[in-house]
């Protein structure tokens, strides 16, 4: 009963958090004082666990604003209950990850003014750069393995990346890439694998070395989530592997690096004004980045201002980039190309929308209402039996996949419309298919029911009106993120747990083929599919 009352009180205050204006923030209590040591601890926990969704300055993005003007209306006990139990909107319960004492510290920290982290400019970036293996000391030819079928696997909670041979399933190398590595992207040729950690550290792995090794490192900021390469080869030049680009959360900027050494070339700030209200935002973070195959350009999504930048890098050697700014929607997060690679679809998750960016006509093609907090990863493309070419996204806030028509030429009536809503077992994070497969795989990682989070949902592309199949894959940890092998006949799935593993499923039979033991695997990236943007 007491617990129920606590939860009810927390729910009431949760509604307050979502409200635009709250308590008087001039009111100063003594409970707002914290010992320096506790403050530092709380600040670190917040930065490691909460800042990704709520922002370093707590202005809100994927999660609501947690500025003192809002949080001070919520008593510490109710705040602790919200953090402990999570929220229906998609915030996970932290009770299994943070101790009771840590939750109390973070709750108290919420009542204090957020401190501003230090800037990190070119001097610090340059100083952090380490060329571990110079270019002329690296192998001149590829290894005698099917290296384009290698997988880079993130072992998030142990700060490592493993490189696995997709043919033999051997773990070829396990490399120390740093704190809470987030994503991997291969260079355009596939030879190098770049990793980016939440601490802003980028690492470059040479896949031609036997075993693969780290050849360069750099810290482009103190908080980052995205990295990509230059992919254009055509009339305007050959930019294959010429540059890498890192998108930072803090400081809010992107950094252009030399593609073969990670030597820093240029830092470009994303601070500026929101696309709609023209208010200055001190923390517009770089969310997803993709590299165009058809022009020397990156698509860089700026979360808080809601602006998509088309960044022309063709003159980056001269120290110049040209930005085309497209107004899209606030809280841009993750996204991927449609199958033609003309349109980039990006989730504005707190606005329950997906923005479709036309990179040829260089404009917003459409804003599409989907469901509660779309979260595509890079999404999934297939040719729907009724609606033609489509792209799809799962949702953080509801168990549903929204399927969007993407062909304004031959299927105009369906273009930029949600043509199907496919129910899945639980709220999830990622979806995956492959052009040669009949299956569409969706994880249920965010389900509050652990049994459901241990299942994967699979649809048959040819019969999307039929009920999907839910396959229980583990009895420990949670299922997260899927990736195909190069041939498209195996799908690799992570069991996110200290005693984790990669489960390799036969795509035709949907049966387990292999289990590869690895601590805390999350994202995994097949070299060929990722460099070619096949998803
Ligand atoms: Fe991610 C992609 C941000 C939490 C696994 N995640 C992305 C992208 C962004 C992002 C901006 C798009 C990158 C791109 O394509 O250039 N992620 C964030 C956050 O801000 C957030 C919500 C909180 C945080 O503090 O980081 C967050 N992400 C997570 C996780 O907890 C996940 C599940 C586990 C982990 O390993 O960190 C996770 N995010 C991933 C993965 C991708 C990703 C695997 C790439 C998916 C793909 O197939 O491309």
pLDDT tens digits along 289-320: 999 999 999 999 999 999 999 999 999 999 99
Across 342-346, average pLDDT: 98
Give the domain ranges of the chain. 2-109
Residue 182 Cα to ligand 1 midpoint, Å, equals: 6
**Measured between alpha carbons, how far is 451 from 340 in angstroms, rounded to an integer?**
38
> Are 440 and 461 a contacting pair, CB within 8 Å?
yes
pLDDT above 50 for 247: yes
Helices 2-18 and 76-85, packing angle to 10 deg: 90
**Measured between alpha carbons, how far is 12 from 110 in angstroms, rounded to an integer?**
17
Among 29-38, 335-344, 411-420, the least confident range: 29-38
**Measured between alpha carbons, how far is 203 from 197 in angstroms, rounded to an integer?**
8
Across 411-416, average pLDDT: 98
DSSP 395: B
What is the predicted pLDDT for the residue at 407?
Answer: 98
Question: What's the longest Cα–Cα distance across the chain?
Answer: 71
Query: What pLDDT digit, counting tens, does each position of 46-88 carry?
Result: 998 999 999 999 999 888 999 999 999 999 999 999 999 998 7
Contacts of 500 (CB under 8 A, 6+ apart): 155, 477, 494, 517, 518, 519, 520, 521
pLDDT above 90 for 32: no
The residue among 216 and 8 whose pLDDT is bigger is 216
- Grade residue 13 by pLDDT with cuts at 50, 70 and 90: low
What is the predicted pLDDT for the residue at 27?
Answer: 44
Residue 288 Cα to ligand 1 midpoint, Å, equals: 9
What is the predicted pLDDT for the residue at 116?
Answer: 87
Q: Give, for 153, the enclosing helix (H) or strand (E).
A: strand 150-155
* Any atom of ligand 1 within 6 Å of the Cβ of 335: no
What is the predicted pLDDT for the residue at 7?
Answer: 53
Tell the burial category of 145 from Cβ atoms under 10 Å away from its Cβ (0-12, 13-18, 19+).
middle
pLDDT above 90 for 399: yes
What is the predicted pLDDT for the residue at 34?
Answer: 85
* Any atom of ligand 1 within 6 Å of the Cβ of 253: no
Q: Which residue has the tokens 């729907």?
A: 384
Contacts of 302 (CB under 8 A, 6+ apart): 252, 270, 272, 284, 285, 286, 287, 308, 309, 332
Across 48-57, 83-92, 107-116, 422-431, the highest mean pLDDT is recorded for 422-431
pLDDT above 70 for 273: yes
Task: Indicate the top mutation candidate among 518, 519, 523 to test ligand 1's pocket, ranked by most ligand atoms within 8 A of CB.
Answer: 523
What is the predicted pLDDT for the residue at 19?
Answer: 46
Mean confidence (pLDDT) of the chain? 93
Residue 5 Cα to ligand 1 midpoint, Å, equals: 35
Q: Which of 53, 66, 44, 92 is nearest to 285 (CA)?
A: 53
Pick the CATH number of 2-109 from 1.10.1040.10, 1.10.357.10, 1.10.3720.10, 1.10.760.10: 1.10.760.10
Q: List, by residue number, the catalytic residues.
A: 50, 53-54, 91, 333, 375
H-assigned helices in 436-511: 450-453
pLDDT above 70 for 350: yes
Whole-model pTM: value is 0.92
- Grade residue 400 by pLDDT with cuts at 50, 70 and 90: very high
């Amino acid at each position: 009963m007491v617990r129920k009352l606590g939860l009810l009180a927390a729910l009431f205050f949760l509604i307050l958090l979502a409200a635009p204006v709250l308590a008087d923030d001039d009111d100063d209590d003594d409970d707002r004082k914290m010992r320096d040591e506790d403050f530092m601890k709380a600040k670190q926990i917040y930065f490691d666990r909460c800042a990704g969704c709520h922002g370093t300055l707590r202005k809100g993005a994927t999660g609501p604003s947690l500025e003192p003007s809002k949080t001070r209306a919520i008593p510490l006990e109710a705040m602790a209950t919200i953090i402990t139990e999570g929220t229906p909107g998609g915030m996970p319960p932290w009770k299994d990850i943070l101790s009771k004492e840590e939750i109390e510290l973070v709750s108290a920290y919420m009542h204090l003014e957020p401190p501003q982290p230090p800037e990190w400019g070119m001097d610090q970036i340059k100083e952090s750069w380490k060329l571990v293996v110079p270019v002329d000391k690296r192998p001149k030819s590829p290894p005698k393995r099917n290296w384009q079928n290698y997988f880079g696997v993130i072992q998030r909670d142990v700060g490592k990346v493993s490189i696995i041979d997709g043919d033999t399933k051997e773990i070829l190398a396990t490399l120390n890439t740093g704190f809470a590595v987030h994503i991997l992207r291969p260079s355009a040729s596939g030879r190098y694998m770049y990793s980016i950690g939440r601490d802003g550290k980028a690492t470059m792995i040479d896949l031609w070395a036997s075993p693969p090794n780290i050849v360069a490192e750099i810290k482009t900021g103190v908080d980052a989530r995205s990295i990509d390469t230059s992919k254009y080869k055509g009339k305007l030049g050959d930019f294959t592997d010429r540059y890498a680009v890192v998108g930072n959360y803090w400081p809010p900027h992107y950094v252009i690096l030399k593609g073969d050494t990670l030597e820093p070339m240029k830092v470009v700030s994303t601070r500026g004004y929101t696309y709609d209200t023209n208010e200055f935002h001190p923390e517009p973070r770089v969310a997803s980045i993709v590299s165009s195959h058809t022009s020397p350009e990156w698509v860089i999504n700026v979360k808080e201002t809601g602006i998509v930048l088309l960044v022309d890098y063709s003159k980056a050697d001269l120290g110049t980039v040209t930005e085309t700014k497209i107004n899209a929607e606030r809280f841009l997060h993750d996204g991927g190309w449609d199958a033609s690679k003309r349109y980039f679809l990006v989730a504005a998750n707190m606005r329950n929308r997906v923005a479709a960016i036309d990179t040829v006509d260089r404009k917003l093609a459409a804003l599409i209402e989907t469901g509660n907090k779309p979260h595509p990863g890079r999404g999934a493309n297939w040719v729907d039996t009724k609606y033609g070419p489509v792209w799809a996204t799962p949702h953080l806030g509801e168990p549903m996949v929204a399927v969007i028509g993407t062909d304004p030429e031959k299927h105009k009536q369906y273009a930029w419309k949600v043509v199907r809503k496919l129910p899945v077992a639980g709220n999830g994070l990622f979806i995956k298919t492959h052009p040669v497969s009949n299956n569409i795989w969706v994880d249920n990682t965010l389900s509050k029911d652990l049994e459901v989070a241990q299942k994967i949902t699979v649809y048959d592309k040819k019969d999307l009106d039929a009920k999907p199949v839910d396959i229980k894959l583990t009895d420990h940890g949670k299922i997260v993120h899927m990736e195909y092998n190069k041939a498209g006949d195996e799908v690799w799935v992570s069991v996110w747990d200290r005693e984790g593993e990669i489960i390799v499923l036969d795509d035709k039979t949907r049966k387990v083929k292999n289990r590869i033991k690895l601590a805390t695997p999350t994202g995994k990236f097949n070299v060929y599919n990722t460099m070619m943007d096949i998803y």
